Amino acid sequence: MVFRLVLTALLASQVLAVTSSTHTVSLQRKAAARISRSDGSSKAVQASEYFGEIAIGSPPQKFLVVFDTGSGNLLIPAKQCADNACSAHRRYDVDSSKSAVDIAFADAPDKAVEGDGDRDVVTINFGTGEVSGVFVKDRICVGRLCTTGDFVAAVEESDEPFTMVPFDGILGLSLPQMSEGPVFNVLDCMIRDKVFSIVRNARF
């Protein structure tokens, strides 16, 4: 299973390319049956989740993330999160990364938190749960592809569904409009840094 499969689902027959070569990242696939309820009725819906390893920080801290085409942010549990959903997974330690910067506000994505500690806390709702977190800028690597971008370090996570999921965090593959801002979209940051491009390929 390769990263190209996820992009194919999102971008309809487009391929991830680095200069003249294709870069792939191994993924795991998990099939799941979900129940969709509407007007009191129930309907079984089959779904697949693809997840793989990324690295954040210097030195790199490794996390297993689900590649989500329905969101645009990178969300990782933070070390200071004491919820069961966080403690059941690997957590990001901002103090262990030499390249990390605590970011104060989403609309000022390069402004570090000042001495008074004033900063935004964002809450992101999902269909079956929610995550609250703060903003951090750090080095983010998907395989050999690395960029610097902002992400949400979760300080609170709901037990459902996050306690039981096999992955640590979520890497949103959606457009920047679905992110907290352009620098919160990992793919957009890779395009900005020219480590990533999309090309058409009729074979997919």
Res. 189 pLDDT band, cuts 50 70 90? very high
Going by C-beta distance under 8 Å and a sequence separation of 6 or more, which residues neighbour residue 125?
none
pLDDT score of 72 more than 50: yes
Q: Which residue has the higher pLDDT, 87 or 195?
A: 87
Higher pLDDT, 84 or 1: 84
pLDDT at 202: 55
- pLDDT at position 65 over 60: yes
pLDDT of residue 32: 58
Which pLDDT band, with edges at 50, 70 and 90, does 177 fall under? confident
